[in-house]
Structure 1
């Protein structure tokens, strides 16, 4: 009887814990519920998973994208879980490999921002507000996120990425945009922050990548 009572107590406690962790949609949520799990319930991220390739002459960009589910996020005043897209990349110019971060995908980071491309903001067309997703088809999905290049930090610059999934004439594509918020300053004042770099290895711009 004691074992049965213990088991019932355990099941009751487990059910209570589960009840305290609501699963909410990642898309179009405010991310302000303590302990919630913001899940990609519509499986929008799944469209982006895999290897994608851009090629223009001897210039080549390959991006490998994965999903990281239920990642713990601590903002100090609130903690919750959410799904992320993470990616790494290789960029070749004139047939020469300039950067390759693929090996970072082999590490299961507990912090998703340890990956060099991270996306968690989903944007979709809204018929009543076309500016939300301009030039989007009704089934297009956009993921907005952050970009990093190892060993190349640029003060005052906030690099961002946009992945836009689209099917054109039966061909599955993502349009990848690398851009930055902020401005790079050249400051010659003694003691001021000095930038060693003023751009990233991958040039800012928009790239059309094909599913491999």
Structure 2
């Protein structure tokens, strides 16, 4: 993937009042997905409200699973162009690529799109994120709400 995934590696934090959402992303190369080998960004998160940890999957970051994509809380490697309908980016440079992954809410087992753009804001490296399109739970009549932050926000690289 021409080292595209390298720029997304790191730990990022988003704070909104008393809510703190921290993610750590790492690149894994030549990961077997039951059909072929691929490079992949995997990650885990910690989400706290009022200083109380609501969810923490960070201990799983270094666990090596048979299928990294399925087991890690954050995983993906699909690139988005500037005009991708899922998240348009008129401010992106013409050759800039963003990343699409999936994030799983461990408390509800629901997943959502996790779209990322690495950039610099006021001299600080940041990850602009869009979490949306929570996947429907077809097996449950009234599935629990997705409990992680949704929408667009900026996470600061630590």
After TM superposition, the score normalised by the length of structure 1 is 0.65
- Bigger fraction of residues in strand: 2
Aligned with residue 193 of structure 1, among 140, 143, 147: 140
Q: 1:146 to 1:211 in 2, by over 3 A?
A: same
The 5-angstrom pairing of residues 73-84 of structure 1 reads 73-74=33-34, 79-84=35-40
Partner of 2:130: 177
Match of 2:149 in 1: 203
- Structure with greater helix percent: 1
Q: How much is the aligned-residue C-alpha RMSD, in angstroms?
A: 2.2
State which structure, 1 or 2, has the greater radius of gyration over its C-alpha atoms: 1
Q: How does 1:151-162 map to 2 (within 5 A)?
A: 151-154=107-110, 159-162=112-115
- 2:18 maps to 58
Aligned to 2:80: 123
After superposition, the C-alpha distances for 1:32-57 in whole angstroms (9 at most, x for unaligned) are xxxxxxxx22x111111111011122
Structure 1 residue ranges (4+ consecutive) displaced by more than 2 angstroms after TM superposition: 131-137, 181-185, 192-196
1:79-133 deviation digits (Å, cap 9, x = unpaired): 32110101111111122211111011121112112101111101244xxxxx234
2: CA distance between counterparts of 1:83 and 1:120? 7
Specify which structure has the bigger relative contact order, considering alpha-carbon pairs within 8 angstroms and separated by 6 or more residues: 2
2:142 & 2:28 partners in 1: Cα distance? 33
Per-residue CA deviations over 1:19-70 (Å, capped at 9, x if unaligned) read: xxxxxxxxxxxxxxxxxxxxx22x1111111110111222111100001111
Number of residues of Structure 1 aligned to a counterpart in Structure 2: 153
TM-score by length of 2: 0.84
